[in-house]
Homo-oligomer: A and B are copies of this chain.
């Protein structure tokens, strides 16, 4: 069993990104990322800090906009529009989830699609489905695909089961892995809560991607001997034995599933670090496009 080291792969991608930023800077271009956070959710604050920190480490121009929880829709859209117009900013991300009074879809649609590095604007989702090379692909699915590529796992002709049909992970992954070309050409099945005999469907997978958001949902009987398992879940569960009283687990029951696998990602340290690495990657790609 091979443990796929997301931290090491993310570090490699970040090193490539650092070199790409240096090259761009030698031409007078500094890729700029703006992250907008509304409210004080501690998990969101931690994500935003982490994105800002990585961006700065790689030499990017990184801006944080921290807005109060009672920011109106109009005020938030006005911030997005000012960032759309800002030539130093190539990438805009509004940290999800916003407070409940905000219409998140309308905010995402206010972002210039050419700066939507999260890839959630309908234009980018559509371009991904259409196979356009200039689509921004959502960072987590892009990171999953990259983990497979960097680990030498062939997707072409492979049976892939994507467990979960969210627009954040499941659907874009299905589109990515079934597209023509390297890192694609897989035979993809989208499984979900309505799937009958889910265990049997999951056992068809050469590559099983768990993105269902339920702690340790995937058990050993759902995995074929020799399968590759990519665990997208990040769930905090009670753990009396830990000083914090809780721990992070994935959507896969790692201890029982790992021995059956050809390769598997751990949680934490698997898909997680890839998401921020791919955000930096998308930001740099955006800066390149704007420079043309």
A133 to chain B, nearest CB (A): 12
A104, chain B: closest CB distance, angstroms: 11
Is A153 part of the binding interface, using a Cβ–Cβ cutoff of 8 Å?
no
Closest residue of B by beta carbon distance from A129: B125
Interface of chain A, main secondary structure: mixed
Q: Is A127 an interface residue (CB 8 A)?
A: yes
- Protomer copies: 2
- Interface centre among A129, A185, A186, A192, by most B CB within 10 Å? A129
CB within 8 Å for A201 and B175 given contacts A122-B127, A126-B122, A195-B157: no
Residue pair B187, A190 in contact (C-beta under 8 Å): yes
- CB neighbours of A204 from chain B (8 A): 204
> Residue-by-residue, is A189-202 near B (CB-CB < 8 Å gives 1, otherwise 0)?
11110111000010
Q: Which of A125, A126, A175, A185 has the most CB of B within 10 A?
A: A126
| Chain B residues with CB below 8 A from A174, complex form | 174, 190
Query: Which of A's residues lie within 8 Å of B, judged by CB?
Result: 105, 121-132, 156-159, 165, 167, 171-172, 174-175, 178-180, 185-192, 194-196, 201, 204
